[in-house]
Structure 1
Amino acid sequence: MDVKLDATNRRILAHLVANARIPITELAKAVGLSKTPVALRIRQLEEMGLITGYRAILSPLKLGLTHVTYVEVSISDTRQKALEAFNAAVRRIPEVEECYMIAGGFDYLLKIRSRDMTHFRKTMAEEISALPYLGSTRSYVAMEAVVEQNWIAPEG
């Protein structure tokens, strides 16, 4: 279900995406409202399920996780039980930062974050290759992050 947002709610969300710890008074000033209506709008956005939580975003680079590889995965069985088994197993691999089921020439796309090529190779050999129903993989090493963002879609 698409949620219709007015310009003020979009500004509130944009500020929260940029800094979820922004004080309500500062946020209210930034969007041109007083504290109470801003707090009410945030509560409504949470109740609508638009805001699903708040979290600390860690710096992978400062944690030494500078190596990013995207892995195409084809699985040998695409029945529901196989998909559920694969999904549960891939969620347990800490190096898998993102995993998407894909419609196309392969079944899943994984984003693997590791310290270096040795760490990645070990993750592939010990974790990824042990995933249930794994058919084949194809890996692509990222050389540089050009765009990484969390955003709120513009109105319209």
Structure 2
Amino acid sequence: MPPMVELQARLRARRLSSGSTKSATWSLYANSGGKAVTMKLTRADRKILQILQQDGKISNVDLAERVGLSPSPCLRRVKQLEASGLISGYVALLDRRKAKLDVLAYVEVQVDRHSEEAAEAFKQAVLREPEVVGCYVMTGGYDYLLKVAVPNLDAYADFTMKRLLKMPAVKDIRSSFVLDTLKDSTALPLDYLD
């Protein structure tokens, strides 16, 4: 499957119907076979999502209390949201600077071949690099955008010269360095679920 088609298949979430602002029905497509999982999202579901995006370690009892449900139905809703793929996982968010990764760079990558084989080889090379904490397929003059976290500029130079520029099909790169962070949130807006 071509990378763009694979990306579209993974990210596709299509709204099927909505009777009111109280709930919406969504069809979430799984990676395997394009099976659709349909569930009705209620205000309680959206509240659960909002709270879990802020505190993924909250106990089910506390979550249920904040949502206004008893623990059993609350847990059942969380399990349904997980099974639907809307909740894709739980992680610990680390402070980049306390992890001694003082340099954050966004790197635009242009490739010279647009074949499936070259795209797959580049993808596999990027997945092996722990410094690459994000990789996005882009439109415009560059094909990919990498988010790279390293301890210092020497480590960045080492990464780009010895590894990135030697990856399959890489033709050109352009780097931008983060000077300050005004907002860096993993929480997604939920207004569009109405």
TM-score range (shorter-chain normalised) is over 0.9
Structure-1-length-normalised TM-score? 0.95
| Larger relative contact order, structure 1 or 2 (CA cutoff 8 Å, min sep 6) | 1
**Equivalent-residue separation in structure 2 for 1:33 and 1:21 (angstroms):** 18
**Equivalent-residue separation in structure 1 for 2:66 and 2:188 (angstroms):** 16
Query: Is this contact kept in 2: 1:13–1:152, CA < 8 A?
Result: no
The answer to whether the aligner puts 1:92 opposite 2:165 as a matched pair is no
Q: Which amino acid aligns with 1:27?
A: L
Query: Is this contact kept in 2: 1:74–1:134, CA < 8 A?
Result: yes
Of 53-62 and 33-42, the range deviating more from structure 2: 53-62
Q: CA deviation at 1:152?
A: 3.4
Query: Is this contact kept in 1: 2:113–2:169, CA < 8 A?
Result: yes
**Equivalent-residue separation in structure 2 for 1:64 and 1:110 (angstroms):** 19
What are structure 1's unaligned runs of at least 5 residues? none
Q: CA deviation at 1:154?
A: 2.9
Pairing 1:28-67 to 2, within 5 Å after superposition: 28-67=64-103
Q: Which amino acid aligns with 1:21?
A: K
Q: Which amino acid aligns with 1:57?
A: L
Number of matched pairs: 156
Q: CA deviation at 1:54?
A: 1.6
Query: Is this contact kept in 1: 2:50–2:190, CA < 8 A?
Result: no
User: Percent identity, aligned pairs only?
Assistant: 34
**Equivalent-residue separation in structure 1 for 2:181 and 2:57 (angstroms):** 26
RMSD over aligned CA atoms reads 1.2
Which of the residues 171, 177, 180 maps onto 1:141?
177
CA deviation map 1:93-139 (0-9, x unaligned)? 11101011111111111111111111111111111111110100111
Q: Which residue of 2 aligns with 1:70?
A: 106
Q: Which amino acid aligns with 2:183?
A: V
The structure richer in strand per residue is 2
Q: Which residue of 2 aligns with 1:105?
A: 141
Query: Is this contact kept in 1: 2:122–2:168, CA < 8 A?
Result: yes
The answer to whether the aligner puts 1:11 opposite 2:11 as a matched pair is no
